[in-house]
């Protein structure tokens, strides 16, 4: 991040625009995670930008928080897709969903932490539900477990999965430990 008021002459206008936007999104995620007052003043102070820069990118705080959600969702989807690309066996596909979420959380804990927050929880849960359902259905079809992937168990799976990812975001457990526990919980829940 360049100090406020310094023009970054080495970048094109489009590159500067994208950089400012990503810095504002990162700052919004940090403010959301700190659970301090979510306001433009705190965001621009954190990003080292001015209010005009904020409003050039976002019409409101709500739009900025939606940008955080979208960025996090795209990051998670990309990491999960990458992990699943090399996973053929059903158990490995389930592990791929878990490791994709944890990779995103390791790469950008503030962004994923904000995505897990109450303001974003429904969109976050919907993404986790979709990804877990697909991997769980594949595992069930392959005989990894015999339980039905019903709504009640799926809801329990999503809730516990999100809680485990949050533990990793908060650095209370390493990714490999969280991955082992998440896989064990999911398999026990559906056996």
The angle formed by the CA atoms of residues 180, 171 and 108, to the nearest 5 degrees, is 95
DSSP calls for 77-104: HHHHHHHHHT--SHHHHHHHHHHHHHHH
CATH of 13-58 among 1.10.10, 1.10.3470, 1.10.287, 2.30.30? 1.10.10
Name the pTM for this structure.
0.87
* Mean pLDDT of the chain, nearest integer: 92
Domain ranges of the chain: 13-58, 65-190
Task: Match 């998670």 to its residue by tokens.
Answer: 76
The class (CATH top level) of 65-190 is mainly alpha
Same fold yes or no, 13-58 and 65-190: no
* pLDDT tens column, 113-151: 999 986 667 889 999 999 999 999 999 999 999 989 999
């Amino acid at each position: 991040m360049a100090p406020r008021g310094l023009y970054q002459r080495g970048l094109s206008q489009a590159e500067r625009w994208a950089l400012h936007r990503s810095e504002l999104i990162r700052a919004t995620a940090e403010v959301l995670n700190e659970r301090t007052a979510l306001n433009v003043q705190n965001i621009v102070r954190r990003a080292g930008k001015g209010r005009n820069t904020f409003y050039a990118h976002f019409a409101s705080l709500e739009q900025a928080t939606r940008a955080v959600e979208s960025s996090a969702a795209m990051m998670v989807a990309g990491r999960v897709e990458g992990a699943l690309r090399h996973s053929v066996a059903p158990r490995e596909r389930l592990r791929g969903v878990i490791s994709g979420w944890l990779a995103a959380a390791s790469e950008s804990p503030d962004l994923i932490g904000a995505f897990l927050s109450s303001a974003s929880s429904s969109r976050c849960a919907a993404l986790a539900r979709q990804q877990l359902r697909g991997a769980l259905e594949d595992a069930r079809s392959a005989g990894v477990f015999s339980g039905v992937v019903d709504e009640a168990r799926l809801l329990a799976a999503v809730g516990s999965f999100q809680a485990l990812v949050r533990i990793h975001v908060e650095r209370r457990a390493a990714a490999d430990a969280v991955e082992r526990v998440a896989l064990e919980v999911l398999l026990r829940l559906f056996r």
